[in-house]
Structure 1
Amino acid sequence: MLIAALLIDSGNIHCQDDNNSSKKRVIENLSHHLAVNTEVISEDKIFQALLERERLGSTGLGKGVAIPHARIPGLSHTVAAMMTLSSPIKYDAADKQPVDIIFGLLVPEDNSEDHLEHLSRLVSMFRDPQICQSIRETTDADKMFDLLLAIDDD
């Protein structure tokens, strides 16, 4: 599946968010953004699932990127949201660098194949320093969505 298709539209992209002073606060805000696109899954349930996943090991990839993700019982389809932060935050990433690009992903509990496929595609995309630089330079959600569409086309 294409990255832009996971996001559905630019309403799930939040650029230069400045209300994130900590990893916990980022996950709270991300949970809110993700909950908007679920039928019956509460923001708190999403928050708890993402925190539980972080307890297993940080989802900070390195180079300023994190992909918080969780498998959610009762979820009927994959849900995603993306945030860029106005100021990087400490995130316990593998390279110890602060994070300013966050891509949140929720998948149905029984859909591990899609989960791994989506994560693989995201990791590949975010390992490209030019893509990350373009994402950091984009401050408008519609333009970010267009950028992701263009990346998907490559």
Structure 2
Amino acid sequence: MELADILAERAVLFCTDITAKRQLFETLAVRAAALTGHPQAEILEAITSREALGSTGLGNGIAIPHGKLGGLGSVTALFARLDQPIDFDAVDDQPVDLVVMLLAPTGAGADHLKALSRVARLLRTESVVDALRATADPVGLYAILTAPLPVTYAA
């Protein structure tokens, strides 16, 4: 599974003025509702319910919040780069500025896990993370996210 299979260009955001995790989730839920046709409140509930089980902040300023939705046709990803990192209760206690939100259909165990694995592998690549942090343009962010690995990016 490639990220381009689940991430649309219009699902990539550069966010300013986000100061809290809840605000970020609300912003992503609005965009996800527009992309999927699912109600914003349902998306927000799926993400916040999962987050209540434990933070999806992986460390190094990266988070992968995720949730499952009934009636969703396929795994869908959204990406947000924050201009200012926010507290996320991450495992390393560092604030987060790179976020990939994954939404999966209820019962999509294997596809959901493949998507999580793909995103985690991508965001463990230092050159990708550096390039994402150096880019504020959503089109440029999308190009970085969907480029085949391994790729070396010049900062």
Do the two structures share a fold, i.e. TM-score over 0.5? Answer: yes
Aligned to 1:24: 22
Change (3 A) 1:32 1:152: farther
Match of 1:73 among 58, 70, 73: 70
Give SS of 1:8's match: strand
TM-score, scaled relative to structure 2: 0.92
Q: Please say if 1:107 is aligned against 2:104.
A: yes
Residues 1:36 and 1:153: Cα distance change in structure 2 (over 3 Å): farther
Distance 1:5 1:83 in 2: 17
- Equivalent pair of 1:3/1:148 in contact (CA under 8 Å): yes
Q: Supply the distance in 1 between the matched residues of 2:66 and 2:57 (Cα, whole angstroms).
A: 11
- Distance in 1 between the 2:111 and 2:35 partners? 18
Q: Of 141, 144, 147, which residue of structure 2 is paired with 1:144? A: 141
* Aligned residues with identical type, % of pairs: 34
What does residue 40 of structure 2 align with? 43
Query: How many aligned residue pairs are there?
Result: 151
> Counterparts of 1:149 and 1:45 in 2: how far apart (Å)?
28
Structure 1: give runs of 5+ residues left out of the alignment.
none
Deviation at 1:152, TM superposition (A): 4.6
- How many Å separate the matches in 2 of 1:88 and 1:128? 19
Matched residue type, 1:27: F
What is the letter of the counterpart of residue 104 of structure 1? M
CA distance in 2, matches of 1:129, 1:145: 17
Determine whether 1:63 maps to 2:60: yes
Q: Aligned AA for 1:84?
A: R
**With structure 1 as the length reference, what TM-score do the two structures score?**
0.92
Query: 1:153 Cα deviation (Å)?
Result: 6.9
Whose helix fraction is larger, Structure 1's or Structure 2's?
Answer: 1
Which amino acid in the other structure matches residue 43 of structure 2? I
Please list every run of at least 4 consecutive aligned residues from structure 1 whose deviation after the TM superposition is greater than 6 angstroms. none
Deviations 1:54-76 (A, max 9, x none): 01111101100011100111111
Is contact 2:3–2:145 with CA below 8 Å preserved after alignment? Answer: yes
5 Å-filtered alignment, 1:72-91, equals 72-91=69-88
CA RMSD of aligned residues (A): 1.3
